[in-house]
A and B are shown apart, each in its own frame.
Chain A
Amino acid sequence: MIGRLEGFDRSLPVWIATALALVALMALPLAWLGVMSVSGEGGGATFAHYRDAFRDVALQKALWNTLVLAFWVGVSSIAVGAPLAWLTARTNVPGKGLIRMLVLASFVTPPFLGAFAWVMLAGPNAGFINTLWRQVTGAAGPLFDIFTMPGLVFVVTAYTFPYVYIMLANTLALIASDLEDAAAIHGAGRLIVALTVTLPLVAPAVVSGFILAVLQALALFGSPAILALPAGFHTITTQVWSFFQFPPKIELAAAVSVPLLLATALLLLVQKRLLGRRGYASVGGKGGVRRTIPLGVWRYPALGAVLGVMTCAIFLPYAVLAKAAFSKAWAQPLSWDNLTLANVSFTLFEYSSTKDAIVNTLELGVVTATVGAVMVALLAYVTNRKLVIGHQVLAFLALAPVVIPGVVLAVALFIAYTRPPFVLYGTLAILFIAYLTKEMPVGYAQSDATFKGIPADLEEAGRILGAGRLRILRDVTAPLARSGIIAAWCFIFIGVIRELSASIILFTPNTKVMSVVMFDLKEEGQFGAIAVLGLVMLGLTFAIVSIVQAALGRDVLGVKD
């Protein structure tokens, strides 16, 4: 719109380079994935791997389990996340700051760590909750067995609902009260208003939240590995991962990955179709008053319900992790006899992987978040200001990795970067690429929203005064977009820290990250050491996010009072 007025814009090479980088990031691995899935033994093309994959009864079961898991996680994440978002965004529920902090705590907790904690809480025999249940009721059986599909859904939901929450809380904060008021004036009760006015207005966000949660659950590796494998069932992700065991069946892994990729793409297409036809001018408008809805006598019961949810997601898991970190035997009662610092000293001072893993993780987190935040900011700027032809393609490319489950991405990257021309396997670079690709959509969505909120007039003023596009970006736009970009940085950083599904395939011994080390320890049954590392990881993440939040002067989750 503005750029076309010039003969040659010197910023053009920057945009083109960004676009090419984006294409290269995904095109090469995905092309390899496709090639590998049809490559025969002695060269030549074959569909044998696809045939093998779909005839395999075990794989069919795994696929079914994955669908069941993803669907129920989607449903229950909405059931938990939506009321929570409504409560904090629109009502006078007490302790909003606390609630948001707890949601953030759940957001930064890696699902595999949560799963591990819940093994100690609700293992059918030794789990604390079940032990207590037996003592109190004298029952023979457990109250709740975590090594089941419902157990898996439960745990995954506890760490996935924040995605729904973030999406909805932001939308709810944008809905003006006029429409609701109109309904109220016509005599509708609060519940009716909520159901007939507010709900339809946020429906797109609900659907998006559902799909986001489904995609998360679909791509998850750690929680199924910890909860499903002991019970003797697989999901697609654990199955794909097992294809890497010796002798490796990379072709089969590729052949399973391609349909998975297509399925997630289809899911997003459906979402677009569902939402694309409607207009939501009433959501995005400026102005309009947002009134707080009084909960009356329900204020404290509502807070109680929220804290109940958080007990499952945060309080109990953290408590049991802390206990395991400081006890000799996690299943024994907490007594002086059982108390020890041995786990802490072993993990921090004797276990030689700890230091390297912490350094690698932080390095990758900071580098990926920084490069990623700059990249998504540039991209969002270009697409919002329509600076280049085909900016829609750029937006699409930036959002496209959403459809690539971490395991699939890892398979593709593994194939692409273990052979010339780019041998990146064995370096941190391959993990960096994986993380950057994987976190691109989340970062882009955040940046896109930021730039949508910055009017172009200020930039135009700068242009009239003779400043170049890059200068304006630095002096005018960047300061305005600062807080949004830092929020994108946080999202990417958190995403990197809790990543396991791609790392587990791409790591080598000198590029271990904390999540991989913890998974190794889990397979060996070193509960104390994982608990210590998990607490260290959460402490570090929280410290860094808090520092950034303080610098930002607002909530990372993007919800303003």
Chain B
Amino acid sequence: MIRRYVSLAVAGILILFSTGASAEDAARLEAAKKEGKVVWYTSLVLPSAEKVAKLFETAYPGIKVEVHRTGSQRILQRVMQETQASLKIVDVIHTSDAGHFVLLKQKKLIAQYTPAGVEKFPAGFKDKDGYYFGLRATVNAIFYNTKAVSAADAPKSWKDLLDPKWKGKMVTAHPGYSGVIATHVLALEHLFGWDYFKQLAQNNVMIVQSANDPPTTVASGERVVAVNGGEYSAYKLKKKGNPIEIVYPKEGVPLVVSPTAIATAAPHPNAARLFTDFTFSRECQQVMADSEGLYTGHPDVKYPADKPKLSELKLLSVDAEELEKRNEEIKKRFVELFGA
């Protein structure tokens, strides 16, 4: 515990030194402190989100981060409802559905802002017009409960999940809630068509909402195989000693890059920029990789040795514009096939 706080303090001091260099930065810091807080709508799993918030608050005392964590689709719903009622609440928007950002950009609800240091990030993490940038990434994978399923019996591919022997034993998250899952469904639809999901639904799959929940459901033993879900959540559960194992299917794993952007109507714009810069700093990105099991676009970040590198995986990418166009179709088809 103490060691953690010491390391946080050290990180904070380092950041203070590196960002407090110019007069411009000092003015911004002053303005941000006057604003006093930053409101963050985020789909990052709650404990991780609160951890990032605490890191920032330690680095910049006097500026509070208000974390509002929910599913990607719920975040979009909130932003749109609040825009319609002319409410200005949110500063920083972060979801796992890249399509959202295409839409938000079109509707001019997010502002152009290039966080410090992102020029070194790979192209897949950057909007060409400079509105949004990938804060973190994860992949969808298959998870199974090691107490209930042996490694030999475990499904190895997405197609293996169609085997009737898994009937009533699997769990899926919902694309109507989670951006990770919306991305997943689109990627697999490219690969196999809707027919794949039609057959999958025959297997009586339990439906949860968040992409973090299939791993917890499998870890608890309520279902023994998860047909999708955020790999970072499963990795964290595994590290904590839960009976869960991750399978990276041979057909490839859907890559989910989760963008972040600053709201045009942000009530705390300076704090929003300061916070955004902070989340892209190597320190913060390294924490996400170390303890949260995430991938990032930062070239200097080191990953735990027991985690495959992104370059070792066969990645299935989806195009943000296509995701935006097909988001509604994805939700609708899913509900039709799975019932809710």
Chain A contact residues, CB within 8 Å of chain B: 58, 123-127, 147, 228-234, 238, 242, 244-248, 328-331, 346, 350-353, 418-419, 423, 425-426, 508-510, 520-521, 523-527, 529
Taking a contact as CB atoms under 8 Å apart, the answer to whether A248 and B80 are in contact is: yes
The total of interchain contacts (Cβ-Cβ below 8 angstroms) comes to 129
Among B45, B67, B71, B222, chain A packs the most CB atoms within 10 A around the CB of B222
What A residues does B65 contact at CB under 8 A? 352
> Residues of A contacting B74 with CB < 8 Å?
245
Chain B residues closer than 8 Å to A524, beta-carbon distance = 45-46, 69-71, 209-210, 212-213
CB–CB B81/A125 < 8 A: no
Closest 7 CB pairs of A and B: A232-B339, A525-B213, A331-B220, A126-B222, A523-B209, A126-B221, A418-B85
Contacts of A523 in B (CB 8 A): 70-71, 177, 208-210, 213
- A528 to chain B minimum Cβ distance, whole angstroms, is 10
Contact of A58 among B68, B78, B331, B335 (CB under 8 A): B335
Q: Are B208 and A230 in contact (CB under 8 A)?
A: yes
Are A248 and B222 in touch, CB under 8 angstroms? no
- Do residues B87 and A425 form an inter-chain contact, with CB atoms below 8 A? yes
Interface residue from B66, B87, B223 paired with A508 (Cβ < 8 Å): B87
B221 and A353 within 8 A (CB): no
Q: Which of B68, B85, B224 contacts A423, CB < 8 Å? A: B85
| Cβ-defined contact, A350 with B50, below 8 A | yes
Q: 15 extra interchain contacts, Cβ-Cβ under 8 A, other than A245-B77, A352-B66, A508-B82?
A: A231-B206, A231-B340, A244-B77, A244-B81, A245-B73, A350-B54, A351-B50, A352-B65, A418-B84, A425-B87, A509-B78, A521-B46, A524-B209, A525-B208, A529-B46
Question: Which residues of the other chain, B, contact A527 by a CB distance below 8 angstroms?
Answer: 216
Known: A232-B338, A232-B340, A524-B46. A329 touches B80 (CB 8 A): no
**Contact: A509 with B68, CB < 8 Å?**
yes
Check if B89 is an interface residue, CB within 8 A of chain A. yes
Knowing A245-B73, A248-B77, A509-B39 touch, does A228 contact B85 (C-beta < 8 A)?
no
A-side contacts of B213, CB under 8 Å: 523-525
Q: Kindly list chain B residues whose C-beta atoms are within 8 Å of the C-beta of A230.
A: 206-208, 340
Whether B322 sits at the interface, judged by CB under 8 Å, is no
Contact among A242, A350, A352, A426 with B89 in the assembled complex (CB-CB below 8 Å) = A426
Q: Which of B310-340 contact A (CB under 8 A)?
A: 328, 331, 335-336, 338-340
Query: Which of A238, A244, A246 has the most chain B CB atoms closer than 10 A to its own CB?
Result: A246
Check if A246 sits within 8 Å of B77, measured CB to CB: yes
Task: For A331, list chain B residues within 8 Å (CB).
Answer: 219-222
16 A-B residue pairs with CB within 8 Å: A126-B222, A228-B340, A230-B206, A244-B77, A246-B73, A247-B328, A329-B220, A331-B221, A351-B46, A352-B67, A423-B86, A426-B82, A509-B41, A509-B68, A523-B208, A525-B217
Q: How far is the CA of A329 from the CA of B220 in the complex (A)?
A: 7
By the criterion CB–CB under 8 Å, are A526 and B46 in contact? yes
Residue numbers of B with Cβ under 8 A of A are: 39, 41, 45-47, 50, 53-54, 64-71, 73-74, 76-78, 80-82, 84-87, 89-90, 176-177, 206-210, 212-213, 216-217, 219-224, 240, 242, 328, 331, 335-336, 338-340
Q: Given the complex of chains A and B, what is the CA–CA distance between A526 and B237 in angstroms?
A: 12
**Smallest distance from the beta carbon of B143 to chain A beta carbons, Å?**
13
CA of A383 to CA of B4 in the docked complex: distance in angstroms?
65
Contacts of A58 in B (CB 8 A): 335-336
Nearest B residue (CB) for A509: B68
**Contacts A352-B50, A525-B208; is A125 near B223 (CB within 8 Å)?**
yes
Report B264 CB to chain A, min CB distance, Å.
18
Whether B71 and A508, one on each chain, are in contact in the complex, defined by CB atoms closer than 8 angstroms, is no
A126–B77 CB distance below 8 A:
no
Residues in B with CB closer than 8 Å to A352 are: 50, 53, 64-67
Give A330 to B242 CA distance when docked, in angstroms: 11
**Min C-beta distance of A222 to chain B, whole Å:** 13
Q: Is the CB of B208 within 8 A of A329?
A: no
CB-defined contacts of A233 to chain B, threshold 8 Å: 339-340
Q: Main secondary structure on chain A at its contact with chain B?
A: loop
Say which residue of B53, B212, B219, B331 sits within 8 Å of A329 (CB atoms).
B219
Q: Separation in Å of the A241 CB from the closest CB of chain B?
A: 11
Using known A-B contacts A233-B340, A351-B46, determine if residue A426 contacts B69 with beta carbons closer than 8 Å: no
Residue of B nearest to A145 (CB): B168
**Would you give the shortest CB distance from A344 to chain B, in whole angstroms?**
14
A245-B176 contact in complex given A126-B221, A329-B220, A509-B41, C-beta closer than 8 Å = yes
A127 to B209, CA, bound (A): 19
CB distance from B82 to the nearest CB of A (A): 7
Q: Please report the C-alpha to C-alpha distance between residue A328 and residue B208 in the assembled complex, in whole angstroms.
A: 21
**Pairwise interchain contact B76-A246, C-beta atoms closer than 8 A:** yes
A210 vs chain B, min Cβ distance (A): 29
* Nearest opposing residue in chain B for A423, CB measure: B85
Taking CB as reference atom, which chain A residue is nearest B71?
A523
Is the pair B89, A425 in contact by a Cβ cutoff of 8 Å? no
B216 to chain A, nearest CB (A): 4
A233 and B39 alpha carbons, distance in the complex (Å)? 35
A353 to B53, CA, bound (A): 13
Residues of B within 8 A of A125 (CB): 221-224
Selected from A126, A127, A525, the residue in CB contact (under 8 A) with B210 is A525
Give complex CA distance A509, B45 in Å.
17
For residue B181, give the distance in angstroms from its CB to the closest CB of chain A.
12
Q: Which residue of B lies closest to A507 (CB)?
A: B78
Chain B: CB-nearest residue to A141: B168
Report the minimum CB–CB distance from B16 to chain A (whole Å): 23
Which residues of chain A come closer than 8 Å to B177, judged between CB atoms?
Answer: 523
Residues of B within 8 A of A525 (CB): 208, 210, 212-213, 216-217
A123 and B77 within 8 A (CB) = no
> Which A residues are CB-close (under 8 A) to B86?
423
Closest chain B residue to A61 by CB distance? B339
* Cα–Cα distance between A524 and B208 once the two chains are bound (Å): 9
CA distance A280 to B339 in the complex (A): 49
